[in-house]
Each structure stands twice: as C-alpha cells, then as structure tokens.
Structure 1
C-alpha cells in the first residue's frame, strides 16, 4: 500500500533538473509522477519511478543526494470536488499532510493523489475506512 518515492536534493540553478532526468532516462527508468519544491538555495525533486533502486544508484553515482521515503497514492474520481472530498476526510480524521501532489491517469477517469502524512498508519486506516483505493507502486507504474 505504501509507495516508495525518491527525493533528490538539487542546487537551485539552471540545468540541474534536466541533468537529473537525463541520468534517469539513460538508465531506462520511467518517471510516473514528480513534484518540485524550491527554496532560495536548493530544491527537492520528489519522484515516483518504475525502478527506485536503479534511479537512486545512478543519481548517487553522479553525486546527487538521494533519499527514499514512503508515500500513499490515493485514487479519487477526476471530477469537480474530488480533491476537496478526500481532504475533508483527512481533516475529519485529524491527519496532518506533510505534502502532496497529483496526476491524472491516461484514461482520464481518475486522479491519483500522492500524500506524505505525519502518521502513515493512521492515514492508511482512515482512508481505507472511508472507502478510498490506495494504489501500490506497481499499480502506479502500470497506469
């Protein structure tokens, strides 16, 4: 149910994102979802890929600082209010969202929300009790 994600710390300068994605592409690793957050000095690139270990090793070999974290992938209807509904459920459960990002399936029927929660176990129990589908990493990569 938990999905492995890699986080890459990068300098906030031109070309770094292109360099990272090129390294991953050269290894034959497919990026399924990503998010970029930045500060004045550095950025954090969060990626869900089809081969976490291969991507992580290739980036480390090129001198990047890379970490692995677990996130939850929640499938919701891709319609007006889909995000609001799941966020209301999260609020009702007293869960704290550390960060989130989203993407839409190729079919366009559902959206997938990627969440990092302060209490991952409570989040799993709460979301499943509310009837949400939690996807595995393999399911995300097959979308």
Structure 2
C-alpha cells in the first residue's frame, strides 16, 4: 500500500537537478512522477521510480544526498472535484497532509495523487474506510 519515494536534496545552483536526472538516465531508471520544492538555498526533488533502492545507491555514488520515504498512491477520477473528494476523506478524519503531487493517466481518464500525510498508516486507513482506490507500488512503477 505504501510507495517508496526518493527525496533528493539539491543545492540551488545551475545544472544540479539535471545532473541528478542524468545519473538516473545513465542508470536506465525511468521516472514515473516527480515534484520539486525549493528555497533560495536548496531544493528537494521528490521522485517515484521503479527501482528506488538502486536509484538511491546510484545517486549517492554521485554525491547526492538522498532519503527514501513513503507516500500513498490513490487513483481518482480526472475531473473537477476529483481531488477534493480524496482530500475530503482525509479532512473528515482530521488527517493533515505534509504535501501531495499528482499526474494524469491518459489511457483511462483517471489521475493518481501521491499523498504524504503526517501519519501514513492513519492516512491509509482513512482512505480505505472512505472508499478511495489505493494502488500498489507495482502499479505506479509500471511493473
């Protein structure tokens, strides 16, 4: 039910994000989803990749600081209000989100939202109880 996510800490300087992505490309690792948050000094590049442990090792071998964490992947209808339904389930259980990011699945007019609540297990339970379609890491990774 949990999906591994890489968080890569990047100095906020020209070419640093591309360097990290080049390492993954050279290693043959495809990116399924990504998000970046930045400040004036550094950024956090969050990635979902099919082989997170191997990707972490490759990046660390190239002097990147990488943390592996977990998120919840939820499939939802790709229409106005789809995300609001998912957030309503969490709000109804007083579950706060640290962050989220999403991407569309063009083949079936659905979207996938990746959620990181303060307590991931409570988030999973609330979503399951609320009827949300939680999907596996293998589905996200395209395996």
Q: TM-score, normalised by structure 1?
A: 0.96
The equivalent of 1:136 in structure 2 is 136
Q: Distance in 1 between matches of 2:125 and 2:87?
A: 15
CA RMSD after TM alignment? 1.1
- Once the two structures are TM-superposed, the CA of residue 108 in structure 1 deviates from its matched residue by 4.5
Structural mapping, 1:20-59, within 5 Å:
20-59=20-59
Consecutive unaligned residues of structure 1, counting only runs of 5 or more, are none
- Once the two structures are TM-superposed, the CA of residue 43 in structure 1 deviates from its matched residue by 0.2
Q: Distance in 2 between matches of 1:22 and 1:100?
A: 25
Q: TM-score, normalised by structure 2?
A: 0.96
Does the 8 Å CA contact 1:9/1:42 hold for their aligned counterparts? yes
Consecutive unaligned residues of structure 2, counting only runs of 5 or more, are none
Cα deviation, 1:50-100, whole Å, max 9, x if unaligned, reads 111111011000101000001000110001110111111111110010110
Cα deviation, 1:18-59, whole Å, max 9, x if unaligned, reads 111110010011100000000110000000001111110110
Aligned residues: 143
Structural mapping, 1:1-143, within 5 Å:
1-142=1-142
